[in-house]
Structure 1
């Protein structure tokens, strides 16, 4: 396992009241033009912070990708508790996602791209999986010292990530800074 990968033993950090207050998933997902039948891929789905609210917005399939089987097991319990039936669990790494081309209208990449090695390979996979005109919602840690989050040398600055998305064939259609420590990029795959 890469030293950059999130340790599943710390999963309580993924879904806590402070994070929900600062980064409310339902409000943030409203940044995507999600339609009733859209398919969505949540990469690094963890405990379902975004996958479960996304599954309540669409009747399409929400593919929840995580490298850790124990995370997928927790996610499955939470999905059952939430009463949603359109989540499909996918074990795998972002650099080589075991799903077919042009499968989804939207990709959610929440606090995970800083773990991808190499980053361009992960962005190529996102591009491959998106249908033409599809969007990627990316929430990341800004490259500055904060009390929480990954080490500074693991982080990707917002300008650097925007350039990487552009190099991978995306257009940045929105940029937000919901907290002092986080930024959001919404990137669209060319038609």
Structure 2
């Protein structure tokens, strides 16, 4: 019989425990001890600590290798190239930062962020011993990253995000500091689905690692943060109930001077204003007035809605969103979508970026068909959708009256090649 769940630990209590635990491990590593953060069985599988790096660590300082506490090799996951900037969340003794610095070269920069002052001190000492200069170790919380917006090309992490009591905030921050088109690639510990709370807690105790998300929970949080192209691949079982995995995702690309992010409630006025402008032009929709925000919000899927924001002014210049086609279970993977761009911002690639982000987001969620109806007179929209992989499947003639005129509608759809 399962025991009653213990009351959840406060965020502050969790942070204090992590600081105390990893501070002690850092001091042990500095004293020349081999430190262990997971169970011996996990290490025997060859996927935890320095064992997950093959021969890549041969020329790194012994202290950096000895302080490795990860569950994989995220550096091998992120597609780093010369001149890029990369951020390691929870950098510990610095092993992944030093390896990343090698990949991005002297014209690039590798940042490490850790909440434990002793780990930051240890990592700086390891970088100095290695003679690596294109690194910077920051003391702070992964829930509040001390870097500007759109500052790095890649975010990596090694068995750290599972420790946070505020995982949605971590992923929101990772999205914020990534440049458009940037990559998220981490190794982490996940829980198998269907475990009772007591089973999950026992698995965590067996490894010494916290694993409070299943793969689907992780996927949903990434999509909610705005990420697309989400992929989660198991790498090794750590203990009964939990396993290590590679988690990959991307921040949608955007035209110069524009950023895409998830639509929020405080975007309501801007989004509905753009809706009204489309209605006034006459070729966007049968609607004659924009709905209330409450009606709009209730109709659209939460995980698949984006706004395009001008980096200079902060103004919303376009939006895209998806809505269920039908409440019937058979249509769970079919959605209808809309894309609106301010008339003064057209011709910059904003509509294409929004459409591609929406498609990538829906594919990551297992949606197999994105469809819509477009007035045949809206030739720009038809051309955009054809270029994005949509096909015309038919034409509904004189389907409805719009401002006293009978209008045809061209039906388009895109079938995902990724979702079977």
Shorter-chain TM-score range:
0.7 to 0.9
Query: RCO greater where, 1 or 2, for CA within 8 Å and sep 6 or more?
Result: 1
Does residue 179 in structure 1 map to residue 236 in structure 2?
Answer: yes
Cα deviation per residue 1:137-186 (whole Å; 9 max; x = unaligned)? 121112152632324xx522222111110111112443222211201111
Q: 1:24–1:174: structure 2 CA closer, same or farther, 3 Å change rule? A: farther
Q: Which position in structure 1 is the counterpart of 2:82? A: 36
Aligned position for 1:109: 157
Per the alignment, residue 388 of structure 2 pairs with none
CA contact (8 A) 2:77 2:186 kept: no
Q: How far did 1:36 drift?
A: 0.3
Contact kept, 8 Å, 1:41 with 1:64, in 2: the verdict is yes
What is the deviation of 1:69? 1.1
Q: What secondary structure is seen at the aligned counterpart in 2 of 1:142?
A: strand
On the 8 A contact 1:139/1:182 being kept in 2, the answer is yes
1:136 aligned residue (165, 176, 184) = 184
SS across alignment from 1:109: strand
Q: Could you tell me which residue of structure 2 aligns to residue 123 of structure 1?
A: 171
**Match for 1:157 among 173, 189, 214?**
214
1:13 positional shift: 2.4
Contact 2:222 2:230 in 1 (8 A): no
CA distance in 2, matches of 1:23, 1:14: 17
Shift of 1:35: 0.9
In structure 2, the CA distance between the partners of 1:130 and 1:44, relative to structure 1 (3 Å rule), is same
Measure, in 2, the Cα distance between the counterparts of 1:14 and 1:162.
26
3-state SS of 1:57 partner: helix
CA contact (8 A) 2:113 2:139 kept: yes
* Alignment partner of 1:70 is 2:118: yes
Q: Across the two proteins, how many residue pairs are aligned to each other?
A: 189
- Could you say what the CA RMSD is over the residues aligned between the two structures, in angstroms? 2.4
Which of 13, 34, 43 pairs up with 2:36? 13
SS at the partner of 2:92? coil
Deviations 1:15-39 (A, max 9, x none): 9885222455956423221110010
User: Could you list the runs of 5+ residues in structure 2 that have no partner in the other structure?
Assistant: 1-11, 27-34, 57-72, 193-202, 238-242, 254-420
Q: Highest CA radius of gyration, 1 or 2?
A: 2
1:77-96 correspondence runs (5 A): 77-96=125-144
